[in-house]
Structures are given as structure tokens and as C-alpha cells.
Structure 1
Amino acid sequence: MTAAPAPPPGAAPTRIRYWVLFLLCLLAMITYMDRAANGSAKKAIMDDLGVQENDFFWVLIAFQLAYALFEIPSGWLGDTRGPRSTLLRVVLWWSFFVALTGFVGTSHLAGVYLGFTALVVIQFFFGVGEAGAFPNIAKALYNWFPAADRGFAKSVIWMSARFMGGLTPAVWILLTDKNLAELTWREAMWLFAAVAAVWALVFCLVFRNKPGEHPAVNEAERAEIDAGRVETKGAVQVPWGKLIRSRNLWAVCLMYAVTNYCWYFLMYFLPRAMQTEFATYTTTTRGKLLVALLAGCPLLIGMFGCLLGGTLSDRYIRRTGDRKWGRRLFGVIGYGGAGCCYFAAAGVKLAAPDNLFLFASFLVLMGFMNDLIMAPAWAVCQDIGRDYAATVSGAMNMFGNLVGATSTLLVTGLLMKEYPGPQGILICFTMYGVVYFLGVGAWLMIDATKPIVSDAELLAERPLAEAKP
């Protein structure tokens, strides 16, 4: 694909950054589609392997552990080598392992049978690949968007991710139901892997690390993007000591751990839990689709929370000039509201256990409230990370997913086995509500106006840095 020639000097600003945003939104959608497929496919996979469905939590733990451990290395690669090459590597890597998942339970690859242990290993390496996605998306947005629009850009990214994550259970039914497309779960996995590979090809042809490297971006758009930015030249060297000593970064990591601890239930366990808790609705294809859509609605409606949180955060900052509360306020509102909704959903399950729509309604509202914090949280990483935005984002997501893996282990390995059914859900939701209120306190410790490396320190340490007008 040949890029369009740059307009002459003095022309109106080009808008190439919005095409970049569109490509990154597609990536966010593919990321969540491939991840959410595990929650929809686990029964079919485990049936083919002859393993109890409850043991699938080892697969989830393997993915989340790898996803957490490789966040910082992937972020570091994005900061030091650029998001273009890093994203190409990770997307091709994980699409290979998604495709490989389709071979478990068979001996089609060189006559070697891929059993449950192979599935766990494959999902670990799948997590290694996916770990690079969102930190490098954050870095790409830092490079391509001005500070005033970063909250909006992140909100659109997370809106796209939530949209596809919420839609995937229904898409899975449409692809694999015996009365509809009739694909096997293996064929659906191969289809998902192919979509990721095609995206990588288009991305390779279109994307560049910075606006200055893209021939279709004119000087007017570059000026809009770089307004107020401190431009650094030469290789980026991540200041590990300052990152480790940053109280602000530790507060961000603690805050994001709350989302991962409380939210993964929606991704991995809610679709199956609703099928079993409201089994009377799943006797027909129409009923299965209804339950699948309701299970996905916390993510689908959450996408509007993503958009609203980022948009309001940026608007608050533009009107007041207060970046600290512009990020913090919507985090406090979101976590407080999400905690109340989990308590309410637990109460519904206790008082009216057969009321599908009321139960789902509170979970949908919970997804919306939680997602108010997504764009401000990732925008904070750009605010305080700057040239190290991918590494800072990776640190936040690493810490969050390590805690998320603990939650997955606790929920599946203990509560769902020891207290199956409504009692287990009641315990989980009460626990999640309490944790969300702890997250409100974490947000109050975050200050988006204090970068890890200040402008003065940056200019003192790197003489080649210069402030853009």
C-alpha cells in the first residue's frame, strides 16, 4: 500500500492520526475476541480432552501469569524499539498460538497428541504474545496524539475492546451452534487466528512509529500532535530506578489491580455461570443467544463507560486545567459505583435467584461503572510515563494481572468448587464489592501532574532534548 503524498506547507492539518486510531481499535477488538473465546469454548475443549471443566482454571492461570510477566518486557521493547515492530511480533506470535489451540485433543501435528498439558503450555505462550498489545497501543497513542486528546483516544480503544469482548459469546454461538454456521470450535479458533494475521499485514503496510516518519502527515498535523511536548532525540533508556521508587507508579499499580481482581469474572466465568444458573433459558437456540448476549452485556455497555470516562476526563482538564482531579474524579466515581452494583447483584441472587433480567441489569451497570476508569487509568500512564509510557503501562498491567491471576485461582480453585451455585456467586460478589471500595482509596493517591521524569530532569540528563513550541 502506497501512502498518499503529504500536502504542501500551509495546508490544513491532515488527520492520519485517526486512521492510526482506527487500526489500533481493530487490534483491541481482536485482542479481546481471541481472549474471550476461551470462556466460550472451554466446555467443548475440555469435553474433547476428556478433562473436567473445572480444571480449565489452570489454562486461565497459565495465560494470566504469562500475560502479567511479559507486560514490562513488551513495554520496554515498545519504548526502546518502537511500537510498530513490537506489535507486529506479538500479534503474529499470538495468532500462531490461537491457531495451535485448535489442534489440542488431536494428533494431527506430526502424529504428536496435544493433551491438557499441551493446552496449558499453548495458553501460556498465547499470554506472552497478548502481553505486548495494550502497553504498545499506549505508546503508539502517546506518539500520535496530543496530550489534550489522550483520554479520548484511550477511551475509544477500550470501547472497542469491550465491544468485541462482550459480543464474542454471541459470535461464538453464531459460529458454532449446530443450527447456524456449524463450525467446530477448532475451526472457529483458526478463523480468529486468521483475522489477527490479516490485521498484522495491514498494520505493517500503514503504520509508522511517529508522525514524522509517515509521508502522509503534514507539518500542520505534526504541530498539533507535538504541542507542548518535550521531544527527545536518540535512543530511549528506561530509568528503572526512578520507576521503582515512584510512589505515583505504585499507586497506579495498586489501583489497576482492583479492576483485574474484580472484573475477570465477567470475561471468564459469567457466560458459563449464567448458562448453569439460568438453565431453563438455554433449552433453545434463541434462549442460548439471549443468555449469551446478557452475559456479554457488561462488556458491551461497558464500552460506553470507556468512551464517557475518557471524554469527560479530557473535557474536565480542558475546562479547569486540573489534570490531577481530571483523571482521579472519574476513577473514584467508577469504582464506588461498581462496588455498589456488585453488592446489589449479590442481593438479587439471594432474594430472587431466578430473576435473570434483574441480576443481569446490575452486572451490566457494574461493567459500565468499572469502565469509567479505563481511559483515565491508561491516560495516567501516558501522563506520568511520557517517553516511557509503554513501560509504565506494562508495569500497571503486569501488577494488575498478577493480582487477577490470584483472583482467578481463588474463584475457580476454591469458591466455585467449595461453594458451587448461588452461594459461591454471593461470596464472590460481596468480596468484589469490598475490593472496589479499597480501589477508591488507591485513586485518591494518584497524581497525574507528577511525571516520573520531570521536564527539568529530562533536559538536564539528555542535552539533545528540546521543547516543542
Structure 2
Amino acid sequence: MSSSRSNVRWLTLALIVALIVINYIDRSAISYAVAPLTKAFGISTSQYGLISSAFSIGYMVFAFLAGPLVDRYGARRILLVGVAVWSVVTAVTPISGSFVGLFIARIVLGAGEGPGFPAASRTVSRWMPQKERGIALAMVGGVAVAGSLLIGGPLVTQLIAAVGWQGMFWVLAGLGALWFVVAWALLRNTPHEHGKVSAAEHEHIAAGQLAEERSSTERIQWRPVLTNRNLWIIAVGYFAWGFMFWGFMYWLPEYLSSQYHLGITAVGLFTVAPWAAGIGGALIGGVITDRVFARTGDPRSRLTIMGVALLLSGTALIPIFTSPSLTVAVTFISIGVGLGFVTGGIWWVAAIDAAPSQPGVAAGFADASFALSGIVAPSVMGFIVSVTGSFSSGFVVMTVLAVIGAGSLLLLPKRYERRKPPAGARAGLVAGAR
């Protein structure tokens, strides 16, 4: 390879990873401020569940619309507008003043963050050749998500201890503003728009892309998407995993605090384990999926891997149905989350396999089902806790949904046409970057 080749694509990837980290820390920060926030605004436990769900209302709508928005306005503009919106909303959260104000703020926050992943994946597809997308999408879709929640707990709880819960939101808003300034200067839609990309790097990127990835998007055909059996099966599975993911993201700190009477900084430390397990699960899932697909060329193998992982993830929660020790609870929640994250980087790929002629719409459809679970899970968990005074029934619901989702993935898909992955490409993540 030419020594004159620049590495701007890796700088672009670093900006996207940083964006996802800020994205997830901002959306989950409210879960660490439940006690002071609900006290300050006079919000009940069930109302907090509704507020947590409100985020996913805006998220679901704009995740579904993200493909056409990115096609029309470009990924850079969508990402810049999105981070500006969610940073402003993060800043006004502590002064929203009431249940209604906070509910509206969370809807707008979700709307700002909704297009983030579709725009990020589009950026990766434009900047990374196929043979480098394995590590790229593992970083964006797995490590950045679980990693943000891993560092988010200690970071947010330490900020609350240092500057108060209101100050914590303002510091996070400042991080978003900092990313906006850096990305305004350095982020571009394509390598051709960036003046620092060398000719050798241009050639390296272009040689590793498919022709359709460089062409314009055709008109969307909704009927084939909405009548696609395998796509609906994937949506059911993604909803099941999403219920567990969102449930723990919004309620794990409160569960640890109320069940085991932990202080705010201790809660932050104990939330590290599940998300650390998530990083490992995401990386393992990507490796297994790519290797199996490389051998079989059968897209259904991805559904099988997701089904098995989801089934094991749900059953791992069984020991915490009763009143376990803190060690048992953290251990088995970590196992469940880690196994769930095995599927984390595969859903979009599987959705695109199901509707390869319209990859953006297929990925958006799957992402919308995940967002729908984000509306349902926090409210259901909040209702269960307010009625029963316990989280146990919520964990039962997680397990039941995981079994249903796993059964759908393992037993119901239609047969795919078997095909071999492109030569020299990591099979699973080539399509996923579309």
C-alpha cells in the first residue's frame, strides 16, 4: 500500500463513535437523576415511566423517516441538526418544571436522536471500504452503545455528586455542543467533499465499495416492505430485545438503589458490569455471525444466532425473579444483557437481508420496532413497580418476550436464497453499512 495514503476515514469514524457515546449518555442520564428530579417536579413512579417512554415516541417517528431525510439532506446536516436539538433539550431538561414540560422535552430529545444511527451507518458506508467495515460497525453499533452505558453510569453519578443533578445535564449539553463545533469543521458526507483525503485514500475507499453504494437512491416502494414476512419476524425479535434493553437502561439504577439501598455513586459503579458484558457480547456476536455466514452464505444463519442468543438472554434473568442478593442480581443481569448484545450489531444486517432492494427503509423499519419497545418498556416497568412495589414481574415480562422473539426467529422465517458473501468482505457487515 502507498505510504502517502491518508487516514481521514478513521478520523470520521472516531467522530461517529463519539457521537453515539454522547447520544446514549444523554438519553440515559435521566435514569440516574430519578429521585431528585421526581421530587423537584412532583412526579410519581408511573409518571416517570411515561416520561421515559416519551423519548421513544419522537425517536420512533424520526428513525423511521431517517432514510429519506438522509437521502435528501445528507448525513452531515442531519447529524449536526440532531446533536444541536438534543443538546438544547438536554440543557433545558432541569428547568422544564413539570410532568408535561418534561414529557414534551423527552419527545423532542427522541426526535433529535432518532436519525442518528441511520445517518451514522450511511456515513460509514460512504467512508469505509467493505473489508474495513467489520471493525467500523462493531465500534458504532456495539462498542459505542454498550461502552457509553458502561462509562455513563460512573460519569453521570460523579457529575451529580460534583455539580448537582441540574449541573449534570448542563455539562452533558456542553459535550454535545463541543462535538457540534468539531464536526462542523471536520465531518463531511463523502471523501470527495473532504480536502484532506489523499488520492491514495480515495482509491482505497472507492475500490472497496459496491456500485449501488455510490449511486442515488431509487424511489421507495412501501408495499414489499410492509408485506415482508421475515422483516416482521425481525421486528418482533428486535422489540423483544429492545424491551429488555430499554427496561434496564431506564430502571436499572432505580432498581439497584431501591432494592439494595445503594448510594448514587455505588449505583454508578454497579451498573458498569452489565454494559461491560454488552461490549463483549457485541464483539462476539459480530465475529460469530461473520464466520458462520462466510461458511454457509445463508442469511437465515443470522436469525438463528439471534434467536439462540435472545433465548439464552431471557432465561438468564430467571434467578432474579425472586429476591436475590446484590451479587446474584448484578451477575445474572450482566449475563442477560451480554447475551442480548450478541444480537446488537446484527438486526440491521438481517433486516437488509430481508429487503435488500430497499436497505435504508428495511433498516429504518427494524429500528422503529426497537424504538416502539422503548415506548412500551419504561411505562410497563413503571406501572408494575407502582402497583406491586417490586421489579420481579417486570423481569418476568422481559423473559416471556425474549422467548416469544426467539421462537419467531428460530421457527417462522421463510427460506432465503443462499448466496456467498462478496470476495474479501466481512459478510455480515458489508450489507449492514448501507
TM-score by length of 2: 0.87
Query: For 2:208 and 2:33, how far apart are their aligned partners in 1?
Result: 42
Deviation at 1:277, TM superposition (A): 0.7
Query: For 2:335 and 2:117, how far apart are their aligned partners in 1?
Result: 25
Structure 2 match to 1:467? none
2:53 is aligned with what amino acid?
I
Deviation per residue, 1:245-276 (Å, 9 max, x gap) = 33332222222111112221210111111111
1:247 is aligned with what amino acid?
R
Deviation at 1:386, TM superposition (A): 6.1
| Mapping 1:386-397, distance limit 5 Å | 388-397=358-367
CA RMSD of aligned residues (A): 2.6
Deviation at 1:331, TM superposition (A): 1.0
Deviation per residue, 1:302-359 (Å, 9 max, x gap) = 11111221233223334x152515523431232122012111322xxx2xx3511111
Identity of aligned residues (%): 22
Q: Is residue 137 of structure 2 the alignment partner of residue 171 of structure 1?
A: no
Which structure 2 residue ranges, 5 or more long, are not aligned? 419-434
Match of 1:161 among 145, 149, 152: 145
| Mapping 1:328-407, distance limit 5 Å | 328-346=303-321, 350=322, 353=323, 355-383=325-353, 388-407=358-377
Query: For 2:128 and 2:283, how far apart are their aligned partners in 1?
Result: 16
Moved more, 290-299 or 84-93: 290-299
2:146–2:279 CA contact under 8 A, matched in 1:
yes
Deviation at 1:12, TM superposition (A): 6.8
1:209 is aligned with what amino acid?
N
Deviation per residue, 1:271-294 (Å, 9 max, x gap) = 111111111x43xxxxx4333322
TM-score by length of 1: 0.81
Structure 2 match to 1:17? 9
Match of 2:222 among 240, 243, 248: 240
Query: For 1:268 and 1:54, how far apart are their aligned partners in 2?
Result: 13
Q: Is residue 253 of structure 2 the alignment partner of residue 314 of structure 1?
A: no
Match of 1:34 among 12, 23, 26: 26
Q: Is residue 105 of structure 2 the alignment partner of residue 122 of structure 1?
A: yes
2:187 is aligned with what amino acid?
F
Structure 2 match to 1:463? none
Aligned residues: 413
Structure 1 match to 2:422? none
Deviation per residue, 1:108-155 (Å, 9 max, x gap) = xxxxxxx32111111111111111111222222233334455454322
1:152–1:307 CA contact under 8 A, matched in 2:
no
Query: For 1:20 and 1:31, how far apart are their aligned partners in 2?
Result: 16
Structure 1 match to 2:124? 141
Query: For 2:224 and 2:12, how far apart are their aligned partners in 1?
Result: 31
Kindly tell me: are residues 231 and 360 of structure 1, through their superposed partners in 2, closer, same or farther at Cα, counting changes over 3 Å?
closer
Deviation per residue, 1:60-97 (Å, 9 max, x gap) = 12212121122112232113332111111111111111
Match of 1:291 among 263, 267, 286: 267
Query: For 1:138 and 1:446, how far apart are their aligned partners in 2?
Result: 26
Deviation at 1:418, TM superposition (A): 1.6
Which structure 1 residue ranges, 5 or more long, are not aligned? 1-8, 106-114, 283-287, 452-469
Structure 2 match to 1:429? 395
Deviation at 1:441, TM superposition (A): 2.7
1:138–1:382 CA contact under 8 A, matched in 2:
no
Match of 1:186 among 166, 181, 186: 166
Deviation at 1:381, TM superposition (A): 4.0
1:301 is aligned with what amino acid?
A
